[in-house]
Structure 1
């Protein structure tokens, strides 16, 4: 396709108008990792078909049209009021600095919000009356996922805490989240603070529990930036946040009125032995976790009941990053921690970890997306409140009927060579009858 300067200007305007319209009408779907792929495909199809009708191009030019749309989309997103879905750190040209005093006021306001003490009855009730950011994606997903969310939020509140399965994928994430925080603080020279569960100031049904917020004012770039952490076990780390995680970060930023969130993914692995750990020279980041359990032999029954949640949960001590990775230094740290905790806890195991893979991308607040999502979230909450009273059992997942194979019996009939078959299943079948064409023809003559 050959174009002059005026043609190129018209093409740019045409593509930009299509991109702008697509973002305006489809912004709710930007949560999908495939959003830009779908955008390019849809706009390419529209423009290619139109140009073919005008005689500007033919079928063989589709790939060239697609390239034009991709390139212009990349330019458009640099100036769009709707931010990119996520940005790699390598793509950040000029990281923005914050107004320190304004951000300090905002962080202090978040710290001073009243919250019930964790794991108490009041804390469970507080969360029961919220849709937390980690689950809100279900309200925006399929009918089945929305039903699942409504069903779970309608079920009676259960505050019973069972023992912890330390081998589960969920517990792996819990175990390594503090270590990811330590790694992030070490690498980016910052400080993260926890803010508990925060209620949205306008949408009282929304709650957010960010993994941390940068609170070191000396770090002008990261100060006030939220952090969301995912510790990966099996899936690939692609650098593109999964849909449910992207939704979670957007809701958290809206709830806390913050503009940025670092989405951090890490994959920690564990050495099988102490010897393997010290022989490892391939990994830059590695260390030790001490797994302690509380002693109960000197506790009364009432004391055990009052501290059941802590007793049933493992207690981990993480070696700081400033400890030299030598056996002498590590042994000295282990002995110090054991001595400090010997009156209340016993050392259950020593874990030797290494950081196998990591990713950190920036997600910016997308106000247009939240404006589109908020009515759906609010409508879902109203349904939850109604069905807590009127009934919610119809939302339960349908159980599949178990197919029972029949027991086939072959019985010998007395005093004969015949046999009878019982419980033979009926099968759909076709009966084929072969006709003798010649004989049939003779009979009809």
Structure 2
């Protein structure tokens, strides 16, 4: 295909208009990792079919048209008010022009928001009356996911805490989240603070619990940037945020009125023993975790009963990143830490870890997406409130009956020709009785 300058200008304008129209109509779906691929396919089909009809190109030129659309989308996103879905740290990131004083006021306001104490009755009730950012994706997903969210939020509040399974994938994430925070602070020379669960100032049904917010004003590039952490066990780390995580970060930014979020994924692995740890010279980031448990020797039966949740929960102490990974320095830290907590805690195990893989991408606030999502979230919450009063059991997952094929046994009785059948299914069954006619006749005479 060959075009003059005027043709190229018309082509670019036409493609930009189609991209803009697609974004306007489909902005709610930008949460999907496949959004841009679907946009490119849709616009390419429209442009290619039109050009074929006009005799500008043939069916064989589809790939070339697709390349043009892909290139112009990349250019369009550089200037669009709608940000890219995410930006790799390997790409150039234009720093935001931040007013440090205003950002400091905003962070202090978030810190001073009244919040109930964690794990108290008030805390559970507060969260019960919110859809948290980590679950909001369900309201925007399939009918089955939305149904599941409504059902879970309608169920009566349950404050019972079960014991901790330290081998579960969920606990792995909890165990390594503080370490990821320490790694992020060390690598990017910053400071993260926790802000608890924050309620959206306008959409009161929305709550967000960011893993951290950069609060060091000396690091101007990161100051005021939110951080969301995922500690991966088996899933591949691609650098492309999954849909539910992207939605989570957008809702968190909207709730806290912040414009940036670093989405951090890490994969930590553990050495089988101490010897492997000291022999490994390949991993830059590695260290030690001390796993403690609360002592109960000086507790009464009533105290143990009252603190059962804490007693069953592991307590982790993490070796700081500025401690050298030589044996003497590590043993010194271990002994000092044990000494500090010797009265109230018992060292259960020593874990040696290394950072196997990580990804950090920037997600920018997408106001147009939230504007499209907010009415759906509000409608879902209205349904939850309604069905808490009127009934929600119709949303319970339908249990499938498990069909078990019976194993039928046929046994001979003694040496006769008679047989006994066991475990025969009896549904819709009839009973057949064979009568010996001659014996019956003799009996009746």
The answer to whether TM tops 0.5 is: yes
Q: How far is the alpha carbon of 1:29 from its aligned partner?
A: 0.2
Q: Does 1:227 align with 2:227?
A: yes
Distance (Å, rounded) in 1 between the aligned partners of 2:336 and 2:350: 14
Q: Does 1:24 align with 2:38?
A: no
Distance (Å, rounded) in 2 between the aligned partners of 1:273 and 1:150: 46
SS at match of 1:213: strand
Q: Report the counterpart of residue 180 of structure 1 in structure 2.
A: 180
Distance (Å, rounded) in 2 between the aligned partners of 1:93 and 1:241: 18
What does the per-residue CA deviation read over 1:278-313, in whole Å, with 9 as the maximum and x for residues that have no partner? 000000000000000000110122322332222121
Q: Report the counterpart of residue 11 of structure 1 in structure 2.
A: 11
> Map of 1:265-414 to 2, 5 A cutoff?
265-408=265-408
Q: How far is the alpha carbon of 1:416 from its aligned partner?
A: 10
SS at match of 1:98: coil
Distance (Å, rounded) in 1 between the aligned partners of 2:425 and 2:128: 53
Give the root-mean-square deviation of aligned CA atoms. 2.0
SS at match of 1:323: coil
Q: How far is the alpha carbon of 1:421 from its aligned partner?
A: 8.9
Structure 1: stretches of 5+ with no match in the other structure:
426-445
Alpha carbons of structure 1 residues 412 and 323: separation in structure 2 relative to 1, 3 Å = closer
Q: Report the counterpart of residue 110 of structure 1 in structure 2.
A: 110
Q: How far is the alpha carbon of 1:235 from its aligned partner?
A: 0.2
Distance (Å, rounded) in 2 between the aligned partners of 1:215 and 1:323: 24
Q: Report the counterpart of residue 163 of structure 1 in structure 2.
A: 163
> Map of 1:418-437 to 2, 5 A cutoff?
none
Q: How far is the alpha carbon of 1:93 from its aligned partner?
A: 4.1
TM-score (norm 2): 0.92
Is the Cα contact below 8 Å between 2:87 and 2:93 reproduced in 1? no
Q: How far is the alpha carbon of 1:68 from its aligned partner?
A: 0.3
Q: Report the counterpart of residue 439 of structure 1 in structure 2.
A: none
Query: Which segments of structure 1 move beyond 4 Å, counting only runs of 4 or more?
Result: 409-425
Q: How far is the alpha carbon of 1:412 from its aligned partner?
A: 7.5
Distance (Å, rounded) in 2 between the aligned partners of 1:259 and 1:170: 28
Structure 2: stretches of 5+ with no match in the other structure:
427-445
Q: How far is the alpha carbon of 1:316 from its aligned partner?
A: 0.3
Q: How far is the alpha carbon of 1:418 from its aligned partner?
A: 10
> Map of 1:77-156 to 2, 5 A cutoff?
77-156=77-156
Number of equivalent positions: 426
Q: Report the counterpart of residue 193 of structure 1 in structure 2.
A: 193
TM-score (norm 1): 0.92
SS at match of 2:94: coil
Alpha carbons of structure 1 residues 335 and 411: separation in structure 2 relative to 1, 3 Å = closer
SS at match of 2:362: strand
Is the Cα contact below 8 Å between 1:249 and 1:261 reproduced in 2? yes
